[in-house]
């Protein structure tokens, strides 16, 4: 089990530390604790889906998690979700031959991250998928 602490950006440029315990020994479970809060658990098919759930929870509190997995240009391939249990993801780039893979739990700058919905819209646009009917107000 890995433990990491990541910053979360809040209103008026405030930053709070959020603790995580990452367990991918048997499936995928992510435990999260924000300052003053209790531990919350998120389970899913892989770590990236667990991270999406944790980010959604933080967004309800007005916080954006500052990690590589919250960048609008980062998304795991199907193979990464299966082979690495979603721990690593690809930086989406149009240039041929450029492939950068990041650990979704590495720190990112607040200016680099977006909401879960913002990331979803960016990924749909990158792959040229229609946003209508997919839950977005394009």
Domain residue limits, the chain: 2-126
Buried b (16+ CB within 10 A) or exposed e, 80-117: bbeebbbbbbbebeeeeeeeeebebbeebeeeebbbbe
**What pLDDT, in 10s, does the model give residues 38-92?**
999 999 999 999 999 999 999 999 999 999 999 999 999 999 999 999 999 999 9
- pLDDT at position 11: 87
- pLDDT at position 25: 87
**What pLDDT, in 10s, does the model give residues 91-120?**
998 777 778 999 999 999 999 999 999 999
Residue 136 has pLDDT above 60, yes or no: no
């Amino acid at each position: 089990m890995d433990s990491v602490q990541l910053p979360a950006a809040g209103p008026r440029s405030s930053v709070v530390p959020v603790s995580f315990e990452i367990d991918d020994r048997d499936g995928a479970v992510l435990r999260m604790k924000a300052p003053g809060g209790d531990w919350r658990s998120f389970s899913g098919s892989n770590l990236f889906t667990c991270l999406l759930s944790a980010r959604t929870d933080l967004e309800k509190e007005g916080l954006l998690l500052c990690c590589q997995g919250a960048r609008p240009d980062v998304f795991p391939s199907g193979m990464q979700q299966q082979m690495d249990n979603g721990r690593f993801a690809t930086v989406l780039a149009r240039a041929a031959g450029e492939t950068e893979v990041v650990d979704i739990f590495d720190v990112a700058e607040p200016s680099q991250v977006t909401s879960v919905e913002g990331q979803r819209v960016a990924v749909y646009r990158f792959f040229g998928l229609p946003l209508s009917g997919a839950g977005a107000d394009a």
